[in-house]
Amino acid sequence: MIVHAVPDTINAREYGAGNWKAVEASRISIADGGAQAQQVDFDAADPTTVLAHVNEATRHLFIEYSFWPALQIGARSRYPRLGVHVRTHNAEGFHYVHRHTRRRRDYASAAMWMQFARIVARDARSKRAADTLLGISEWDNAHYWAWLPGRAKTEYLPYFSPWPSLRPEVAPVPWSQRARTIVSLGGNFDVSGLLNVANLNSLAANLSARDPAWSFALTWWSQWHTKAPQVHPSIEILRQCDEPWDLLTGVRALAVLTHLGFGCKTTIVDGLAAGCHVIVHPKLVARLPDDVAQACLVCDPSDAAQVGVLADALKAPPADHDLNAQLRKRAAAVIRGALRCPN
């Protein structure tokens, strides 16, 4: 039996968010890999409650996030033969810096760098207390996790979009019937979210000047914020988006126009799975897996020449691919190896 430990902060209120989707993909991957798992939703303030669900018959403990090395240490001290595996969602130290540096002078903050050091130390403890770190990003594994001390083996466990399994009744709409809309799933007033909005404004202005037939939409979830950002007149703000997958399957393009943040931009993979063109910022593309990057359109929305190339590319449907199925198959193989499941 596998215990799949998930913090209670990832709950129904997070439906459709990146962390929620990543957990759903983990759950499906464990099943695809041939393992039987019990999901345990634990109190993020007291993660050791997971130990009540671990016993001598438990073969592996699969933990979402690297935030709780004390849980890993406690589980291993009680059950030395237990396999402990951590699903890493971000290069957490780098991710923290990106989220807390709005201006150049922010890099001079001693408090920020002290917190960065605490996060890195926590992640190093997590690596020392795990058998395997299952990273959501190849770039993060190579540039962050591999450099931390610790004995754990670091492997890439690719994210695939769980939506086709979660909402099988909603199939991608044929290209000719799709709305000529570029949608961006934003919705947060953090540094990354505001940068995405600024770049979407630039894209709307530059692309509309070339081809006014395009419309634009930005999700800005009402359960999180009572106010919305200022946007270009051609952008519709969607205050309610109960089913993100349903939205993606009916539009022609998805724009992910921030380059900040680490881990995996799960919405990129969702958009590709939904049959959309996916537009990404040039500064982000280097951190994407090669197969994902090759399926995307790369554009700096502030560069008129690049927007011109983009306008031509958007006239044709995306190339056929089965990328999501390939990522899901790879994820199952990684799980099978890490948890030593039979083929």
Q: Encoding tokens for residue 121?
A: 């130390």
- pLDDT given at position 97: 83
Q: What pLDDT sits at residue 224?
A: 56
Task: Assign domain 167-322 to a CATH class.
Answer: alpha beta
Tokens matching residue 307: 């927007």
Q: Which of 154, 158, 136, 142 minimizes the C-alpha distance to 88? A: 136
Residue 80 confidence class, pLDDT cut points 50, 70, 90: very high
| The pLDDT of residue 225 is above 70 | no
**How confident is the model at residue 138, as a pLDDT?**
96
Q: Which pair of structure tokens corresponds to residue 209? A: 């000047």
Task: Indicate if the alpha-carbon torsion angle 104, 108, 112, 116 is positive or negative.
Answer: positive
Tell me how far apart the alpha carbons of residues 101 and 68 are, in angstroms, rounded to a whole number.
25
Average pLDDT score over residue span 8-27: 88
Is the fold of 2-157 the same as that of 167-322?
yes
Note the pLDDT of residue 216.
97
pLDDT of residue 194: 84
> What does the H/E/C string look like for the chain?
CEEEEEECCCCHHHCCCHHHHHHHHHHHHHHHCCCCEEEEEECCCCHHHHHHHCCCCCCEEEEECCCCHHHHHHHHHHCCCCEEEEEECCCHHHHHHHHCCCCHHHHHCHHHHHHHHHHHHHHHHHHHCCCEEEECCHHHHHHCHHHCCCCCEEEECCCCCCHHHHCCCCCCCCHHHCEEEEEEECCCCCHHHHHHHHHHHHHHHHHHHHCCCCEEEEECCCCCCCCCCCCCCCEEEECCCCCHHHHHCCEEEEEECCCCCCCCCHHHHHHHHCCCEEEECHHHHCCCCHHHHHCCEECCCCCHHHHHHHHHHCCCCCCCCCHHHHHHHHHHHHHHHHCCCCC
88 against 103, higher pLDDT? 88
Q: At what angle do helices 191-210 and 92-99 cross, to 10 degrees?
A: 70
Closest CA to 184 of 223, 222, 215, 224: 215
Distance (Å, rounded) from C-alpha 30 to C-alpha 334?
10
For the domain spanning 2-157, the CATH number is 3.40.50.2000
Write out pLDDT tens, residues 228-268: 788 999 999 988 888 999 999 999 999 999 888 888 899 99
- Give the start-to-end residue ranges of the domains of the chain: 2-157, 167-322
pLDDT at 342: 54
Task: Give the chain's mean pLDDT.
Answer: 91
Give dist(CA 256, CA 267) in Å, integer. Answer: 8
Tell me the C-alpha to C-alpha distance, in Å, between residue 336 and each of 131, 135, 200, 298, 343.
14, 15, 40, 34, 7
Query: At which residue do the structure tokens 């994902």 appear?
Result: 292
pLDDT in tens, 287-309: 999 999 999 999 999 999 999 99
Within 10 angstroms of residue 334's Cβ, the number of other Cβ atoms is: 17
The arithmetic mean of pLDDT across residues 305-317, rounded, is: 96
* Count of Cβ atoms closer than 10 Å to residue 301 Cβ: 22
Residue 89 has pLDDT above 80, yes or no: yes
